[in-house]
Amino acid sequence: MRKLHSPLILTSSETLLYYIPYLESKGVRWREIASDCGLPSDDVLNESWLPMKELALFLYRVAPLCDDNMPLIIGQNVAQQVIEGKWGLIDSGLDFKQTIQSLMSNEHRFSRQNTYWLEKVSGVWSWCHRGLLKPTFPGSNINEWFRVSLLLYICRHWLGNEWKPASLSLVSNEHQGKIYADILLPDTDIRYEQAYFSLELTDVDNLEPMANRALKSRDISEVLLLAESYCHIPHFTADWVASLFGITPKTLYRYFKDHDTSFLEIKKHAILKRSKQLLLETDESVSNIAYRMGYDNVSNYNRAIKAMCGLTPAQLRKELPD
């Protein structure tokens, strides 16, 4: 029998705890709503992981009972706790670059559905993110704007209280986000309905896309794990992976050749492995799984999987052992 929740779309119970002090200060009867959404209403700390969909539905339900700036205030509060050293995410004395690296390396402790990375977008370093929850799912926009606020206030601690990004790319749509944008970033150029979240780190230089260990010193197994982590990014290409390591695509191809493989083979292996995991361990529709794997069109996903293994995702699901 398949599990209901994939280990790829879970969030820490800490995420629910972020909201509880605010909700109680507003007199919101959050326990009843949490219970209705299938979330724990007592002893929340005893739950190490929660299904992200249920949390998003919870946020969707409580938002109308709160002020318009609810996710923004909570994002700011959590940012302050992170800066003060709670959860051990960052140590005192770190510079901005070290802080970002520490936050990204510790993300797995709080989420099984988020991917963060640094890359240059139009020549400017950007802090990027992609989650596994579709932007059309109720409450996903609230969670995204919580993230905007969290990262913004972390940046402002190191870059100045008046710092703001020149541009911001969001996965949610303008109708969902305008109320928050007008409050938090009224003068920022915001692009909605993008393939992934991207916060432009305006006036920030000398960042590094990956830990500063050369690709040639990495075992191929490390690169395979990296591919499994990033293969669902819509622009997961050889050029993009090369940029993560700060090398040329030619150097990347030479590395793969030295290990008797290719970028295409590694990408296919990673996509198929993650797809099989989702098809086996969840009851999610193929269209939802296609989105999680970075495909905006389920027909393209079906064709890609069939080309890899000779079966469509639906056929593969039937063939996989329980």
pLDDT on residue 5: 45
Examine the pLDDT at 8 and tell me if it is beyond 90: no
pLDDT on residue 322: 60
Using alpha carbons, list the distances in angstroms from residue 67 to 23, 70, 182, 274.
10, 6, 14, 39
pLDDT on residue 197: 95
Q: Which of 302, 304, 298 is nearest to 315 (CA)?
A: 302
| pLDDT band per the 50, 70, 90 thresholds, residue 9 | confident
CA dist 219 and 88 (Å) reads 29
The kind and range of the H/E element at 265 are helix 263-281
Question: Angle of helix 70-83 relative to helix 13-25, nearest 10 degrees?
Answer: 120
Using alpha carbons, list the distances in angstroms from residue 6 to 37, 113, 161, 237.
17, 9, 39, 26
More confident: 32 or 112: 32
CA dist 117 and 130 (Å) reads 9
| pLDDT band per the 50, 70, 90 thresholds, residue 45 | low
| 115 φ/ψ angles, rounded to the nearest 5 degrees | -130, 125
Report pLDDT digits (tens) over 199-244: 999 888 877 766 545 677 778 887 888 888 888 888 899 998 888 7
CA dist 73 and 101 (Å) reads 24
Neighbours of 103 (CB within 10 A): 19
| pLDDT band per the 50, 70, 90 thresholds, residue 46 | low
CA dist 21 and 186 (Å) reads 27
pLDDT on residue 210: 60
* Helices marked H in 131-230: 140-159, 174-184, 220-230
Domain 215-319 grouped into CATH 1.10.10.60: yes
Q: Which amino acid is at 213?
A: R
For residue 187, how far is the Cα from the chain centroid?
Answer: 25
Report pLDDT digits (tens) over 146-177: 999 999 999 999 999 999 999 999 999 999 89
For residue 231, how far is the Cα from the chain centroid?
Answer: 13
pLDDT on residue 2: 37
Instruction: Report yes or no: 203 and 162 within 8 Å, Cβ to Cβ.
Output: no
pLDDT on residue 206: 77
| pLDDT band per the 50, 70, 90 thresholds, residue 118 | confident
Examine the pLDDT at 11 and tell me if it is beyond 90: no
What is this structure's pTM?
A: 0.85
Average pLDDT, the chain: 88
Q: Which residue has the tokens 């990375």?
A: 117
As a whole number, mean pLDDT of residues 57-66 equals 97
pLDDT on residue 112: 76
Assigned token pair, 318: 């039937």
| pLDDT band per the 50, 70, 90 thresholds, residue 270 | very high
* Burial label, 236 (beta-carbon count in 10 A; 0-12, 13-18, 19+): middle
CA dist 101 and 209 (Å) reads 9
CA dist 124 and 130 (Å) reads 19
Report pLDDT digits (tens) over 284-305: 889 989 998 888 889 999 999 9
Instruction: Report yes or no: 204 and 127 within 8 Å, Cβ to Cβ.
Output: no
